[in-house]
């Protein structure tokens, strides 16, 4: 049994873990929590028995025209049960009314997003792989750098 929340109040690093599968240099659970805290919008899926986070989606937005869905992941053992779809639908509903909602994905995932009304678009990106763990990036430093 899974329940969903759009608040991270009370969520601890102990409830996170097992995410960023396949990342060579994954963020720690503590860094994951900071990532959630720094996002404009978050939806979590929690295991109702153990209160463990089993899926999450995050978005960054200017609140006027645009939003970017930065992460969507469901723990491997919880995949294929509709949780990813629920997280995406709930985030799209939250962002409804904005002009643009963007994300980047590998080509095989296009059909998943298309099932939820999204369409392909071209994109560009920068990836600093030596910063992948996010270990030393502080939100306050990024804000201070503006």
Ligand X SMILES: CC(C)(COP(=O)(O)OP(=O)(O)OC[C@H]1O[C@@H](n2cnc3c(N)ncnc32)[C@H](O)[C@@H]1OP(=O)(O)O)[C@@H](O)C(=O)NCCC(=O)NCCS
Contacting residues toward ligand X, per CB under 6 A: 72-74, 79-85, 105, 108-109, 112
Nearer to ligand X, 35 or 72 (CB): 72
State how far the Cα of 33 lies from the Cα of 36, in Å rounded to an integer: 5
State how far the Cα of 139 lies from the Cα of 43, in Å rounded to an integer: 20
Nearer to ligand X, 38 or 84 (CB): 84
Cβ atoms 97, 63 nearer than 8 A: no
CB of residue 140 to ligand X, shortest distance in Å: 27
CB of residue 95 to ligand X, shortest distance in Å: 16
Instruction: Give every CB contact of residue 63 below 8 A, 6+ residues apart in sequence.
Output: 40
CB of residue 86 to ligand X, shortest distance in Å: 7
CB of residue 91 to ligand X, shortest distance in Å: 11
Q: Which residue is nearest to ligand X (CB)?
A: 84
Vertex 85: Cα angle to 79 and 90 (nearest 5): 130
Classify residue 137 by burial, with Cβ atoms within 10 Å: 0-12, 13-18, 19+: middle
Nearer to ligand X, 114 or 139 (CB): 114
In terms of DSSP H, where are the helices of 4-76?
29-38
Query: What six digits make up the tokens of 78?
Result: 């919880």
CB of residue 118 to ligand X, shortest distance in Å: 11
Nearer to ligand X, 8 or 105 (CB): 105
Nearer to ligand X, 10 or 108 (CB): 108
């Amino acid at each position: 049994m899974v329940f969903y929340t759009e608040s991270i109040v009370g969520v601890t690093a102990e409830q996170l873990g097992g995410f960023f599968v396949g990342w060579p240099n994954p963020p720690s659970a503590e860094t994951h929590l900071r990532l959630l805290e720094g996002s404009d919008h978050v939806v979590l899926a929690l295991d109702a028995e153990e209160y463990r986070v089993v899926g999450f989606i995050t978005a960054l937005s200017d609140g006027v025209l645009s939003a970017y869905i930065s992460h969507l992941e469901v723990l491997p053992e919880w995949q294929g049960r509709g949780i990813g779809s629920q997280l995406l639908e709930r985030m799209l509903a939250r962002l409804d009314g904005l002009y643009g909602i963007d994300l980047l994905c590998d080509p095989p995932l296009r059909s998943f997003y298309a099932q939820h009304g999204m369409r392909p678009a071209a994109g560009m990106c920068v990836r600093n792989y030596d910063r992948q763990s996010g270990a030393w990036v502080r939100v306050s430093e990024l804000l201070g750098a503006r």
